[in-house]
């Protein structure tokens, strides 16, 4: 793949824990929209996207990981009609939140350190790989999300990142069939 070696870093959050994805209604068109639920589901989707991208790019020299920067003091919640939890977090964030510089440390670690370019498809917090909880490790869900996303953005087949495992499996089948043909000739 051109552009390798490269690193892709997706920002997530621990708010993904315990969330479910409704693949038939990712945009909350058929259900009531709640800011924190949408935010949390998007962070779960970022992790699943990262895992599927890592699987598809395996062996290409492109490494992709997800990070949780922690609660960072930014203007993300500076909007009207916030949920109660957002208003609470907003009132306490200047006391407990990290600075933007502190929040960026794990992204910088993955982008710049030698260790950050080794493993792909993982989730990092405070510059350390962390275990994923719940359905964030569900590779079937990750693949389904990938497929739904490609369909939703109307990605043409030739624009898609090929499935490395399927290509490898097909190549191995072709090699086995070629050997069989040679042996039977």
Looking only at the bridges linking them, the beta strands covering 6-11 and 62-68 are parallel
User: Got the DSSP string for 65-123?
Assistant: EEEE--SB-SSTT-SSS--HHHHHHHHHHHHHPBPHHHHTHHHHHHHHSSGGGT--S-E
What residues contact 6, with CB distance under 8 A and at least 6 apart?
61, 62, 63
- Burial pattern 97-110, b for ≥16 Cβ within 10 A else e, equals bbeeeebbebbebb
pLDDT of residue 177: 44
Asked whether 133 and 43 are in contact (CB, 8 A), the reply is no
Read off the pLDDT of residues 40-85 as tens digits, 9 standing for 90 and up: 999 999 999 999 999 999 999 999 999 998 877 776 655 555 667 7
CA-based nearest residue to 12, from 35, 37, 45? 45
| Whether the predicted pLDDT of 181 surpasses 60 | no
More confident of the two residues 75 and 133: 133
What are the sequence ranges of the domains in the chain?
6-69+104-184
Residue found under tokens 């070629």: 178
Whether residue 30 is predicted with pLDDT greater than 90 in this model: the reply is: yes
CATH architecture, domain defined by 6-69+104-184: 3-Layer(aba) Sandwich (3.40)
Given 16, 33, 35, 39, the catalytic residue: 39
Q: What is the C-alpha to C-alpha distance for residues 67 and 107, in angstroms, rounded to an integer?
A: 7
Tokens 């910088």 locate to 108
Q: Which residues, at least 6 apart from 126, have a Cβ–Cβ distance to it below 8 Å? A: 70, 105, 106
**123 is annotated as an active-site residue:** no
**pTM exceeding the 0.95 threshold for the entire prediction:** no
Cα distance from N-terminal residue to C-terminal residue, the chain: 36
What backbone phi and psi angles, to 5 degrees, belong to 98?
Answer: -85, 160
- Which residue has tokens 């790989």? 129
Alpha-carbon distance of 59 to 38, in angstroms, equals: 33
């Amino acid at each position: 793949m051109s552009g390798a070696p490269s690193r892709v870093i997706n920002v997530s959050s621990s708010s993904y824990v315990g969330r479910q994805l409704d693949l038939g209604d990712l945009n909350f068109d058929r259900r009531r929209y709640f800011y924190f639920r949408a935010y949390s589901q998007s962070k779960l989707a970022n992790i699943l996207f990262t895992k599927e991208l890592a699987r598809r790019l395996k062996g290409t020299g492109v490494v992709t990981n997800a990070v949780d920067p922690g609660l960072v003091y930014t203007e993300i919640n500076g909007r009207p009609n916030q949920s109660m939890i957002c208003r609470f977090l907003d009132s306490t964030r200047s006391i407990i939140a990290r600075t933007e510089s502190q929040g960026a440390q794990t992204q910088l670690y993955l982008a710049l350190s030698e260790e950050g370019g080794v493993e792909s498809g993982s989730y990092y917090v405070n510059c350390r790989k962390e275990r994923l909880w719940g359905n964030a490790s569900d590779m079937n869900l990750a693949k389904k999300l990938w497929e739904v996303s490609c369909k939703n953005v109307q990605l043409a087949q030739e624009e898609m990142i090929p499935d490395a495992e399927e290509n490898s499996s097909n190549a191995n089948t072709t090699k086995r069939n070629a050997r069989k043909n040679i042996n039977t000739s």
